[in-house]
Amino acid sequence: MKKVLITRKLLKSNEKRISKIWNAKLNLNDENYSQNKLVELSKGCDAILSSIADKIDMETIAKISDSVKIISNFAVGFGNIDIKAARKKNIAVTNTPDVLTDATAEIAMLLILGTARRAIEGMEYAKNQNWKWSADFLTGKQLDGSRLGILGMGRIGRAVAKRARAFGMKIHYHNRSRLNKDLEFGAEYHKNIKSLFSVSDFLSINCPATLETKNIINKKTLEFFPKDAIIINSARGDMIDDEAMVQALINKKIYALGLDVYNGEPNINPGYIKQPNIFVLPHIGSSTERTRTAMADLAIDNIEEYFKTGKCNNIVN
């Protein structure tokens, strides 16, 4: 029987399924394994079902047991894994696309609404019972008629656009390549980020994490935005240069910031904590029971398919 290491605790239904199929090394205490412990636990295993929180870099892959033939990442992203190093060691790396698209798009809309309508400030007033109505009390931004720039018009970006249209937002986007017209639904394509950012009353970051996108929001590019723009990030934390963003919030160049992901999770840049115009969530983009179940099922399916055929539709390397 194949042996599979599962690096984080899954929902009970998924753990029950995987234990019926293989000799599963479950993480029942949901311990955040160190790289050394992950290497130690991988000995004798045929596969690893990893999470986005596992840093499986070149050094770690070099030490992983030679018996491991596939790393099935429990995420749509795979920036936590050195896929080139895995390829050199003949380890397949897979992800879980499609199944978390809707849940993540919903979180993006929550960030847009939360920042635009000053939800955190409003909650504090309500909890402290110290508010009094006036014409200018907690006035925020209205979505209807505003321009939403989408950086990365893949599955999730398109799902965000679909929801934003229902709020009356005008969609603009930048992508590596222009979409077919039947996928644009009237969205306006921009060939470069300067062009996109300059018309973005709101910007939703939905592109994959690459060397090119790291710190794509920085001191220089922040100057491209209209004054009082709102930026939200539900993709990966390293898209934003935190120090530059803090200054932009302080200087009121940027009206508000919404984050479901950020550098150094779970620790956040202390400069953000002091700002009233930031709406932060603890990386819960895919956190619905239906989506997390589907993600784990797909991660299991990826391993099953690879063991049976030596191939998998979701291989990323």
3 burial (CB, 10 Å; 0-12 / 13-18 / 19+) is: middle
Q: Give the active site residues.
A: 236, 265, 283
171 φ/ψ angles, rounded to the nearest 5 degrees? -100, 130
Residue 181: count other Cβ atoms within 10 Å of its Cβ. Answer: 10
Residue 263: count other Cβ atoms within 10 Å of its Cβ. Answer: 16
Helix (H, G, I), strand (E, B) or coil at 169: coil
Q: Position of tokens 């992508």?
A: 175
Residue type, 146: S
Omega within 30 of 0 (cis) for the link into 266: yes
Question: What sign does the CA torsion over 8, 13, 14, 19 have?
Answer: positive
User: Who contacts 148 (Cβ-Cβ below 8 Å, separation ≥6)?
Assistant: 112, 160, 161, 164, 169, 170, 171, 172, 200, 201, 202, 203, 204
Q: What kind and span of H or E run contains 178?
A: none
